[in-house]
A and B are shown apart, each in its own frame.
Chain A
Amino acid sequence: MSAIFKDDATGQQIRAAWWSSRLAIYGALILWAFVCLFPIYWTLTTSFKLAPDVMRGNMIPFMDYTPKWKGWESLGLSPRLIGDVSTVREEFLKRFWNSTIIALSASTLAVVLGSLAAYGLSRFSYRFGFMKNSDISFFFLSQMILPPVVLALPFLVLYRSLDLLDSRIGLILLYTLMVLPIVIWIMRDQFQGIPVELEEAALVDGLGIWGAFLQIVLPIALPGMVAAFILSLVLCWNEYFFAALLSSTNATTLPVMVASQTGSQGINWWSMAALSSAAILPLITVAIFLEKYIVEGMAAGAVK
């Protein structure tokens, strides 16, 4: 019968419907991929353009225009200048280094503090005064709604009297505070997924509660910790508000440097593009290679 070959009228109709739905799905996917990628493509290519290329609106390197290192030279990062001493590069590397140290230490601190707290809250029952476990959890998570602007000015004054203004330590503490609720949220979910029997067995075998936590639970929860760490890293690396208020010369991070350049000297397209590219490239690399963990971390809170 022709029904086997599916080339009668109804069969063809179904096939046409299937093809058009495929077309719509891939069309939408490619359209949105274009929306996501074009600004990044534009920034990367602009960093290799000269003024006339920008004005003529050339888009495709090697076809429309010849790429030049001018933008990267303004950061002291081009094949020609890489060997020389360059004050701009020093400046840029200092900011880059600040960003790296601050983001890494704040995330580490937050993951350590947050994991401990999340583990305790998911295993034992506490009473601090009138606060029970659910109240303590709520206390931690409620920090998420605290807008940074409320803390900014008191911290400015506080840090000034503590001599922490414009120091990395000051920013690290604040960033840790900022990401701690998110870490606790993710990690609580992780620990609740680990059966208590594992620790009970460890306790029977003679480990203390800290021993059981460090030797049994922690290795199992490691993927979750990595996810929490990377999410914190992204948030800390991109933070601008506190950095702009609380740092001036020594501890300024990359976002502050990018922002300060946009204000002055009109717009110097190629150098701005190079600077922006340098600021976003580390995280783009992270996203491409560690996408699994980022997705895992964000999914952890969503699906209970």
Chain B
Amino acid sequence: MSTEGDLLHAVTADDISGMRKRLGRAVVWGTGLLVLALATLQFSHEIGRIAFGFDTWRPVLYAYLLWATALCFAQVIVNGEKGKRALFVLPAALFVISLVVFPLLFALYISFTDWNLASLNGAQPNGWDNMRQMWADAFYWNALKNMVYYVAAISVEYVIAFGLALLLNAQIRARKFFRVVFLLPLMLSPVAVSWMIGKSMLEVRFGPVSRLVREMGFEPSFFGTPEMARFMIMAMDAWTFIPFMMIMLLAGLQALPREVIEASKVDGASGWQSFKEVIFPLMLPVSVTAVVIRIIFKLKLADIIINVTSGGPGGATDSVTSFIFREYRDRSNVGYGTLLAMVYLVLIIIFITALLKLVSRWMERPA
């Protein structure tokens, strides 16, 4: 798929007067200076230099919005037709940059401070102290280790999802009914799922699953031992997200060329052989996409853990996100929590980049 090059090429005769260009630049610079002026004013008000100022940073935000709008308009004023094209991407780009890049820079600063929301004297830079604390924090490493388990569980989810996709792709009646039913778990909010399954169906005394287990002659305890608790979290998360992979794989199956499979049948391949030799290799690109996206979603896993076990027993089910969530909720430790999050982000970027490199080399095609 080529993303380079002017697909829709049009020759335009723009002659833009010097006056118009100057006007466009003036608008951008004027509003930009307004933002700067307001920000400086507010900053000196906050640190107590001058008495005059606003209660909040809201006016600066409005000025920023004004500047962003002016920047978009100035594109058309200065560049004419070319500017109208830039207008397609510019709003989204500005939106993402202002909501991601600024907060990330800010997060980088916070993560090297000892900021605790409960303490009164605000953020004080404390150098590498947070880093040292992290190095010694067994719970954080434990959470990272759990993430490895959680990501590994995707392999099982993948097998189940592939099986279900094959079933739905077979010659069956009521295909639409089954497709809707299989899709339903994905629609449910993880918080609702954690009550529906984690807190009521798995409830030790009255939950239906506990009853079933007791009927079979075991004593139900789903969140007692670390292994069992971790497995239950994995199962609940799998239950919600298997439909996601299933739909993607099903779309892949339906896009397969019919002739190839028929040819393999004519050549006398059994069902298993044609799956192993034809269908699975052809499905590899779709599988890789589905699994990579699933991994990305899995790395954000938190809602179910926060609501069902809140990390227990003894941190056995903690994901990194749920651990940092509690670090903030219970201890208001903004500085340290942010550092943990930043380290996690770096680890994720390294992991995903390596994964994509590996995949594209393995499949011998550019990803």
**Residues of A that sit less than 8 Å from B by CB:** 25-26, 28-29, 32-33, 35-37, 39-40, 42-43, 46, 54-55, 57, 59, 113-114, 116-117, 119-126, 128, 132-134, 136-137, 139-140, 143-158, 161-163, 173-174, 176-177, 180, 184, 192, 196, 199-200, 203, 208-210, 213, 234, 237-238, 240-241, 244-245, 254-256, 258-259, 262, 267, 269, 272-273, 276, 279-280, 283-284, 286-288, 291, 294-295, 298-299, 301-304
Contact = CB atoms under 8 A, between A and B. Distances in A.
A176 B95 CA distance: 9
A35 B110 CA distance: 45
9 contacts: A32-B167, A42-B208, A43-B192, A147-B348, A177-B95, A240-B190, A255-B303, A262-B307, A280-B192
A178 B244 CA distance: 18
Given A147-B344, A155-B103, A262-B195, A120 B247 contact: no
Q: SS class of chain A's interface: helix, strand, loop or mixed?
A: helix
A240 B5 contact: no
A36 B184 contact: yes
A192 B55 CA distance: 48
A52 to B, nearest CB: 11
Given A147-B341, A157-B334, A280 B182 contact: no
A26 B4 CA distance: 48
Nearest to B337: A153
Contacts of B14: none
B88 interface: yes
A283 B200 contact: no
B344 A150 contact: yes
Interface string B160-196: 0001100100101000101111111111111111111
B184 A37 contact: yes
A39 B193 contact: yes
Contact of A116 (B88, B255, B328): B88
A213 B7 CA distance: 14
B3 A122 contact: yes
A153 B187 contact: no
A143 B95 CA distance: 12
Given A140-B96, A258-B195, A113 B208 contact: no
A262 B8 contact: no
Nearest to B103: A154
Contact of B183 (A28, A126, A184, A291): A291
Contact of A299 (B81, B191, B247, B300): B247
Contact of B344 (A122, A149, A154): A149
Interface of B: 1, 3-8, 10, 55-58, 61, 81, 84-89, 91-93, 95-96, 99-100, 102-104, 106-107, 110, 163-164, 167, 170, 172, 176, 178-197, 199-201, 203, 205-206, 208, 211, 239, 244, 247-252, 255, 285-286, 289-290, 293, 296, 299-300, 302-303, 306-307, 320-321, 324-325, 328, 334, 337-338, 341-342, 344-345, 348-349, 352
B352 to A, nearest CB: 5
A147 B64 CA distance: 26
Nearest to B334: A153
Q: Which 8 A-B pairs have the closest CB atoms?
A: A120-B88, A299-B251, A238-B189, A117-B92, A302-B248, A154-B103, A163-B56, A255-B191
B3 A148 contact: no
Contact of A134 (B4, B55, B211, B328): B4
Nearest to A117: B92
B110 A153 contact: yes
B77 to A, nearest CB: 15
B183 A295 contact: yes
A33 B181 CA distance: 6
Given A25-B170, A150-B107, A267-B203, 6 more contacts: A116-B88, A120-B88, A150-B344, A161-B57, A240-B303, A276-B195
